[in-house]
Structure 1
Amino acid sequence: MGGLLIPPAGSGDPAGGTARASAPGLERDLIMTDADFNRVRQLIYQRAGIVLAEHKREMVYSRLARRLRLHRLTRFTDYLARLERQPEAREWEAFTNALTTNLTAFFREAHHFPLLASHVQSRGGPVRVWCAAASTGEEPYSIAMTLSETLGAHAREARVLATDIDTDALTRAREAVYPLEQVLKLPDERRKRFFLRGGGTRAGLARIRPELMSMVEFRPLNLLAPSWPIEGPFDAIFCRNVMIYFDKETQARILDRFVPLLKPDGLLFAGHSENFSYISQAFRLRGQTVYELADSASSRAASRR
């Protein structure tokens, strides 16, 4: 998309910042000053709790450039001013979606799914799992596949609540259509049992079977919202690879809000680069990036004495 438009030496930007290219030698058609970049960082933190590092400048430019061009704007200053003048505008949703990272895959961090299977295998009553960062659906559908394989006929009663702040990602998740090359990485048995292969104009694509789709409910949810319109308790909560975008204070608040939504013996699954041991006293590490409520851990330890 080119480099930032650089004003002549000695000239200032009306917004009070310096416009500079993030890659020398490239010219860009849009102006983003240092002040603009810092304002984007503040706004996405306030809106979604996402902490953008200094080196994310290039990403911010490339992702938000589409929004500026759509509105026929050439300066990030004008785009951000328009946003702030309209706190309830739908453009905020597009702004947040643009800055949300959706890196996911079926059965990503595969060691978690046998643990989930073992955890729900002999439970009484319908199993409920919350996937708190559903992205484009691969993770919640992987959870649903695990429940289906483990619970047999009782899987019809199981439910997966899948939430995400990115409404564009949720639209794709509800469609449940994925590139065939992505699905071919799964074992033959899973592919045949849970996917329909497209033909004709849908060649090269695969869709989740309706019976599996019916197990998953997708809803938009901002983890920073003052209230969550969901009800527990859940047998497990998957909150993987999203906390890394939050600072420790935000992480601690979210973890505390998970506590009443988990069953006493429920499990919290985290991402491979996330460590909650020193952030919240409410949870104790039970296995590799798997946590349980501290009260539950204490009760189990006492029962062994």
Structure 2
Amino acid sequence: MSAQPESLEFLPAAALLSEREFTTVRALIAEYAGIKLSTQKRNMVYNRLLRRLRARGVGSFAEYLEVVQREGSDEREAFVNALTTNLTAFFREPHHFELLISHAQQHAARRGAPLRCWSNACSTGEEVWSIAMALRESGGAGEVLGTDIDTDVLNTAQSGVYRSERIAGIPVERLRKHFLRGTGANDGLVSVRPELRAMARFGQLNLQSPVWPAMERFDVIFCRNVVIYFDREFQKKLLTRMADLLVPGGLLMVGHSESFPAAHPGFRSCGRTAYQRI
């Protein structure tokens, strides 16, 4: 008789997620999402997919992977969602937002049109709302598009509702200006103000898709801590696609340990992990 999903957590990952199954997982996530999982991620894969085994009521990883690979399977999206890393925070890497405010003020003085920003791996939305807050504080008009491959985190992002501990590092003055505190049944929650909601929109996008939906050009693109999952060849393709979507003089913000735009002739460094479209 096969083991029940609830019993899986009491056994070591190696005993349940075989090398062959792990190899299959790595191949599938590369095919579906373009994510290159390293061989050191076996325990992470085990822990995240274990929840999906329970949700589907299957007793082994082999059986689960059969479900994922079935033609027209409704589990593929959940599989991708489970393996997508969603580490984010409000005003993460604050130097980017200081640069954004300065850029937005200059933009407003020159052109007056709304500054268009894109967060292309927005996770649960903290980055999008941080961009919106920075634009609002700059005094100019702005619009923010947030996209991600993971539909679960997009739902959280679009709701704009977070537990109070998520905003613990934000100064009181900024909190009062941009958030509403929940009361009664919503005690312990905060919600972004309607003024911010009016500035943002969200949509699902796999950066690895050969065709992206039609988009107008952007003044600022945030592409932070996502290219580490792509191989070098695709990083080059992604950078070219983003360069085509940035207006001349537009900014590209990347992760704190990323420098991949430095080799592209269309960009010049303009700050710490920030690049300007030439």
Same fold (TM over 0.5): yes
Q: 1: CA distance between counterparts of 2:19 and 2:144?
A: 42
- The one of 109, 130, 133 equivalent to 1:142 is 130
Q: 1: CA distance between counterparts of 2:138 and 2:95?
A: 15
What does residue 28 of structure 1 align with?
none
Cα offset for 1:54?
A: 1.3
**Following superposition of structure 1 onto structure 2, how do residues 124-203 of structure 1 map, counting pairs within 5 Å?**
124=111, 125-151=113-139, 154-155=140-141, 158-203=142-187
* Alignment length (residue pairs): 266
**What SS is found at the alignment partner of 2:58?**
coil
1:289 and 2:277 matched: no
What does residue 24 of structure 1 align with?
none
Q: 2: CA distance between counterparts of 1:128 and 1:277?
A: 20
Runs in 1 of length 4+ with deviation above 3 angstroms? Answer: 277-282
Question: Do the aligned residues in 1 keep the contact of 2:67 with 2:73 (CA within 8 Å)?
Answer: no
Q: 1: CA distance between counterparts of 2:106 and 2:270?
A: 19
What does residue 81 of structure 1 align with?
66
Instruction: Report the more deviating stretch, 73-82 or 97-106.
Output: 73-82
Q: Deviations over 1:209-247 (max 9, x none)?
A: 111111110101000011111412111000011111111
Cα offset for 1:141?
A: 0.3
Q: 1: CA distance between counterparts of 2:262 and 2:222?
A: 19
- The one of 210, 219, 223 equivalent to 1:239 is 223
Question: Do the aligned residues in 2 keep the contact of 1:120 with 1:235 (CA within 8 Å)?
Answer: no
What does residue 214 of structure 1 align with?
198
**What SS is found at the alignment partner of 1:55?**
helix
Cα offset for 1:83?
A: 1.9
Q: 2: CA distance between counterparts of 1:228 and 1:95?
A: 22
- The one of 248, 257, 260 equivalent to 2:244 is 260
Question: Do the aligned residues in 2 keep the contact of 1:241 with 1:270 (CA within 8 Å)?
Answer: yes
Question: Do the aligned residues in 1 keep the contact of 2:91 with 2:97 (CA within 8 Å)?
Answer: yes
Cα offset for 1:4?
A: 4.2
Q: Deviations over 1:45-95 (max 9, x none)?
A: 111121111111111011111112222212212221222222x32311100
From the superposition, tell whether residues 185 and 77 of structure 1 become closer, same or farther in structure 2 (CA, over 3 Å). Answer: same
Q: 2: CA distance between counterparts of 1:249 and 1:3?
A: 38
Q: What's the % identity of the aligned pairs?
A: 50
Aligned partner letter, 1:62: N
What does residue 16 of structure 1 align with?
none
Aligned partner letter, 1:283: F
Q: 2: CA distance between counterparts of 1:37 and 1:278?
A: 34
- The one of 48, 55, 58 equivalent to 2:33 is 48
Gaps of 5+ in 2: 1-8
What does residue 52 of structure 2 align with?
67
1:2 and 2:6 matched: no
Q: Deviations over 1:233-273 (max 9, x none)?
A: 11100001111111111211111111111001101000001
Q: What TM-score, normalized to structure 2?
A: 0.91
Cα offset for 1:41?
A: 0.6
Q: 1: CA distance between counterparts of 2:120 and 2:68?
A: 27
- The one of 185, 204, 208 equivalent to 1:224 is 208
**What SS is found at the alignment partner of 2:133?**
helix
Aligned partner letter, 1:109: E
Cα offset for 1:277?
A: 4.4
RMSD of aligned residue pairs (Cα, Å): 1.5
Aligned partner letter, 2:126: E
1:35 and 2:43 matched: no
**What SS is found at the alignment partner of 1:189?**
helix
Q: 1: CA distance between counterparts of 2:101 and 2:12?
A: 51
**What SS is found at the alignment partner of 1:121?**
helix
Q: What TM-score, normalized to structure 1?
A: 0.83
**What SS is found at the alignment partner of 1:134?**
coil
From the superposition, tell whether residues 69 and 184 of structure 1 become closer, same or farther in structure 2 (CA, over 3 Å). Answer: closer
Question: Do the aligned residues in 2 keep the contact of 1:184 with 1:191 (CA within 8 Å)?
Answer: no
Q: 2: CA distance between counterparts of 1:277 and 1:149?
A: 28
Q: 2: CA distance between counterparts of 1:55 and 1:264?
A: 40
Aligned partner letter, 2:158: R
